[in-house]
Structure 1
Amino acid sequence: MKKMMLINPHKPGRHGEESITVIVQMPLNLAYIKALTPGDWEFDVIDENIELAIDDNGELTFAPVDLVCITSVTYQSPRAYKIATACKRKGMTVIMGGIHASVMPEEASKYVDTVFIGEAEEVWPRVIKDFEAGKLKKVYDGGLPPLNLMKRVFPDREFLRKKYNYKFSSIVTTKGCPNYCDFCSVPTFQGRKFRERPYEDVLEELAATDYKGLMLAEDNFYGHGKRSNERARNLFKGMVERNLQKDWLGFTALNISQDKETLDYMAKSGCFGMLMGIESTNETVLEKMNKQVNLKLGTESYYDCIQKIHDAGLVTWGSVVFGADGDGKDSFKRMTDFILENNIDILTFGINCPFPKTQLYKRLDSEKRIFRKNYPDDWEYYDTAHVVHRLVDMTLEDFIEGMQYVYDHIYAGDNLRKRFRNSIKTTNNPRNSMFAFRVGSDWQQVFDQVLENLRLLYDSGDYYKDYYKSNSVSVSKKPLVESITT
């Protein structure tokens, strides 16, 4: 029997979304590969969030198999290439897919036998047949197929649960985004067309899985426009009517706050709350980002939007961007005040990051501001937890001090517990407020690591190097304030 190893790479010691223990979730794309593979195969999986595929010496931790399939986002790609190299040394065939390989196929092809671009639903069975016939191609493009194809096959969650006993999973209800926020990699990978999965199919999958904890694995489950909003409403109404109670959350935009009926169905179906991209309170910055949904609502309406979500008993998970052009050193206090005054239950963030092929990357590269350009090794910094380009509206010292200010006032000391107590008051829902508190508690270690990353960057001097010239430019540094260095 042929053997296939599925690998989700992870750099040892890194903390990020995967460190939020309350929603640690299985790599759903690998569960789909398992379910889509025709023929008689023996499968195994390595999720490096849990166990390693290679040791400190770059040697494999598993016995050779016939075919290795590796998925990767950008920050994982250096680790993925190391794993692929180790596999090929042992004579194994390696296929790599995921967002980074799809965006950077020429780079990925240097390390693997085959690059898979796009999504697998239509093309993956042909890849397997070509492999079995000894006719594997260098590149396959699965394109962006309609989501009604997902009716034919559900991901094999049970296979992954048997290996790692995941407590949480995810489910696909939409893909793509018609917006074009300059920092976002979704349009470069999943297209600008908003693809919707028939909600009846989603309900069937919800009924077929015994997973209680689920995340809607997309960027905006509520959608864009009245028809999409109605579809989302029908999904949550169907969950209630069919008694498909789940402990779930998802990603959407603030405009959902204006739809009380949908919020009520969400609450009744078991929703904790939702993650929303607030990004910035500065409309000039939002215009540069091309964050149209927030601009249409207007920053002055944020409080009312959040209050309506709280009135439904749901928590608000605010995601913001630090370090965007236009946000100066005063932006940290403004954002902190905003979080506290608007009773945001969970705050997570990303440092503004120019992911490959995005509009932000093209602009910053043209302005010669990116200092992490030793690819592919430097892709490990492209995880929104590192600064990879020079800031224009503040110094690096200002940025570090500002991030410390946010930490001190949102996370440090008794602040998480105070916000938890306030969340219970504003939502009148202890269950959802406890969920928010647990997410915040786990994110604290992520924030600690981000601050450490910033200190290491400052000490290294890399921030001041000009990677666009053969000789780097030296810039003197001023001392960090005592609160940052201690």
Structure 2
Amino acid sequence: MRKMMLINPHPPGRHGEESITVIVQMPLNLAYIAALTPGDWEFDVIDENMELAIDDNGELTFEPVDMVCITSVTYQVSRAYKIAEACRKKGMAVVMGGIHASVVPEEASKYVDAIFIGEAETLWPQVIKDFENGELKKKYNGGLPGLSEMKHVFPNRELLKKKYDYKFSSIVTTKGCPNYCDFCSVPTFQGKKYRERPFEDVLDEMEATDYKGLMFAEDNFYGHSKNSANRAKALFRGMIERGVKKDWLGFTALNISKDAEVLDLMAKSGNFGFLCGIESTNEAVLEKMNKTTNLRIGADNYYDSVQKIHDHGLVVWGSIVLGADGDDKDSFKRMTDFVLQNNIDVLTFGINCPFPKTALYDRLDSEKRIFRKNYPEDWKYYDTAHVVHRLVDMTLENFIDGMQYMYDNLYAGDNLRLRFRKSLNTIGSTTHGKRNAMFGFRVGSDWIQVFEQVLENLRKLYDSGDYYQDWYKSSAVTVPSDKGVAV
């Protein structure tokens, strides 16, 4: 029997979304690979959030297998390449997929035997057939198949649960995004077409898994049109009618607040609330980001939007971007005031990050402002927890001081508990409202360690002097273009 190792790499010691214990979830893409693999294979998995695939000396921690499959987003990829190198030294075939390999295939192909671009639902069985016949190709492109293809196979959650006993899983209901926010890689990776999975298929998968906690694994479960909204309502209505009892969380935009019917269905179907990209309260910043949805709502209407969501007992998990062009040293106080005045239940953030092949990367690169360009090693900094480009409307010292101000006034001391009490008073009049407020508090409590590590990263950057280096006068590697020529 052939053996396959599935690996989710992780830089040791990093804290991020994976550190939010209340929703620690399995890497669903690896569960799909196990389910899509035909024939007689034995599987094992290493999630480096739980245990390491290589030790401090770069030596493997597991016995050789026939094939190693590694997934990777950008900040994981330098670690993934080291794992791949160790595996290939032992004679194992290594296949890499995920966002980074799909977006920068020219680079990834140098470190593995085969790369997989796009989505695996239709093409993965061919990869296995080629491997078994000794004909593994260097590159495969699964494209962006319709989500009706997911009806034919459900991810093998049991394999991963048996190994690590994850408390939460995710489920796919849509993919792609027609918007083009300048910092976002979703349209590049999943396409600009908003693809919807038949809601009956989603319900069937929900019924087939014993996972009670589910994260909807997409950027906007509500969608971008009336038809999409009706499909979302049909899904939630189906959960209620079938008695599918799940504690679920998802991502959407604040414009959902205008639809009282969907908010009611969400609450009745077990929803905690949702994460939405507030990004900024400065409309000039939103315009530069091309954050059109938020511009249509208008920052002045955020309070009413949040209140309508709270009226249904749901928490608002706001995500913001810090350090975008247009942000100045006073923006941190303005955002802190906004969070407190608008009763944002959960606040998490990312430092503005130019992910490869995004409009933001192209612009900052053309302006010669990126100072972390020693690729692939420097990809580890592209995690929204580090500054990788020079700021224009404030100094690095301003940025550090502003971040400290937000931490002191939103998280430190009794501030997090005071915010929790406010949430409890706002949405806690019902049983599910109390549960949801506690969920928000637990997320915020785990985010403290993330915030503290970001502050540590910033201070290390300040002390290193790297922020002031001009990498455009060095011989550092740059992101290859689609034609393989450095840009």
Task: State the TM-score, normalizing by the size of structure 1.
Answer: 0.97
Q: Are residues 1:13 and 2:36 paired?
A: no
TM-superposed CA distance for 1:420, in Å, is: 0.6
Aligned counterpart, 1:442: 446
Aligned counterpart, 1:333: 333
What does 1:394-433 correspond to in 2, within 5 Å? 394-428=394-428, 429-433=433-437
TM-superposed CA distance for 1:430, in Å, is: 1.2
Aligned counterpart, 2:95: 95
Q: Are residues 1:459 and 2:463 paired?
A: yes
TM-superposed CA distance for 1:245, in Å, is: 1.3
- Cα distance in 2 for residues equivalent to 1:18 and 1:318: 17
Aligned counterpart, 2:354: 354
- Cα distance in 2 for residues equivalent to 1:271 and 1:450: 30
Secondary structure (helix, strand or coil) at the match of 1:439 reads helix
Q: Which amino acid aligns with 1:2?
A: R
Secondary structure (helix, strand or coil) at the match of 1:276 reads strand
- Cα distance in 1 for residues equivalent to 2:203 and 2:259: 21
- Cα distance in 1 for residues equivalent to 2:143 and 2:199: 22
Aligned counterpart, 2:474: 470
- Cα distance in 2 for residues equivalent to 1:267 and 1:35: 32
- Cα distance in 2 for residues equivalent to 1:223 and 1:391: 33
Aligned counterpart, 1:32: 32
- Cα distance in 2 for residues equivalent to 1:170 and 1:336: 31
- Cα distance in 1 for residues equivalent to 2:41 and 2:225: 43
Q: Are residues 1:248 and 2:252 paired?
A: no
TM-superposed CA distance for 1:88, in Å, is: 0.3
C-alpha distance after superposition, 1:35-56 (max 9, x if no partner): 0000000100000000000000
Q: Which amino acid aligns with 2:4?
A: M
Secondary structure (helix, strand or coil) at the match of 1:368 reads coil
Structure 2 unaligned regions, length at least 5: 477-487
Secondary structure (helix, strand or coil) at the match of 2:121 reads coil
Secondary structure (helix, strand or coil) at the match of 1:181 reads coil
What does 1:224-243 correspond to in 2, within 5 Å? 224-243=224-243
Q: Which amino acid aligns with 2:177?
A: C
TM-superposed CA distance for 1:471, in Å, is: 9.8
What does 1:37-436 correspond to in 2, within 5 Å? 37-428=37-428, 429-436=433-440
Q: Which amino acid aligns with 2:451?
A: F
Secondary structure (helix, strand or coil) at the match of 2:365 reads helix
Aligned counterpart, 1:479: none
- Cα distance in 1 for residues equivalent to 2:315 and 2:474: 51
TM-superposed CA distance for 1:367, in Å, is: 0.1
- Cα distance in 2 for residues equivalent to 1:341 and 1:233: 31
Secondary structure (helix, strand or coil) at the match of 1:320 reads strand
C-alpha distance after superposition, 1:121-180 (max 9, x if no partner): 000000000000000000000000000000000000011100000110000000000000
C-alpha distance after superposition, 1:265-324 (max 9, x if no partner): 100111000000000000010000000100011111100000000000000000000000
Secondary structure (helix, strand or coil) at the match of 1:468 reads helix
Task: State the TM-score, normalizing by the size of structure 2.
Answer: 0.96
C-alpha distance after superposition, 1:436-457 (max 9, x if no partner): 0000000000000000000000
C-alpha distance after superposition, 1:74-123 (max 9, x if no partner): 00000000000000000000000000000011101111000000000000
Q: Which amino acid aligns with 1:455?
A: R
Structure 1 unaligned regions, length at least 5: 473-486
Secondary structure (helix, strand or coil) at the match of 1:438 reads helix
Give the percent of matched residue pairs that are identical in Structure 1 and Structure 2: 79
Instruction: Work out the number of aligned pairs and report it.
Output: 472
Aligned counterpart, 1:477: none
C-alpha distance after superposition, 1:435-481 (max 9, x if no partner): 00000000000000000000000000000000011399xxxxxxxxx
- Cα distance in 2 for residues equivalent to 1:32 and 1:24: 18
- Cα distance in 2 for residues equivalent to 1:336 and 1:143: 42
Runs of 4+ more than 2 Å apart: none
- Cα distance in 1 for residues equivalent to 2:211 and 2:473: 53
C-alpha distance after superposition, 1:353-377 (max 9, x if no partner): 0000000000000000000000000
- Cα distance in 1 for residues equivalent to 2:301 and 2:241: 33
Q: Which amino acid aligns with 1:15?
A: H
- Cα distance in 2 for residues equivalent to 1:87 and 1:11: 17
TM-superposed CA distance for 1:212, in Å, is: 0.2
Distance 1:422 1:134, change over 3 A: same
- Cα distance in 1 for residues equivalent to 2:298 and 2:438: 30
TM-superposed CA distance for 1:422, in Å, is: 0.4
Secondary structure (helix, strand or coil) at the match of 2:320 reads strand
- Cα distance in 1 for residues equivalent to 2:233 and 2:224: 13
- Cα distance in 1 for residues equivalent to 2:366 and 2:262: 44
Q: Which amino acid aligns with 2:440?
A: A
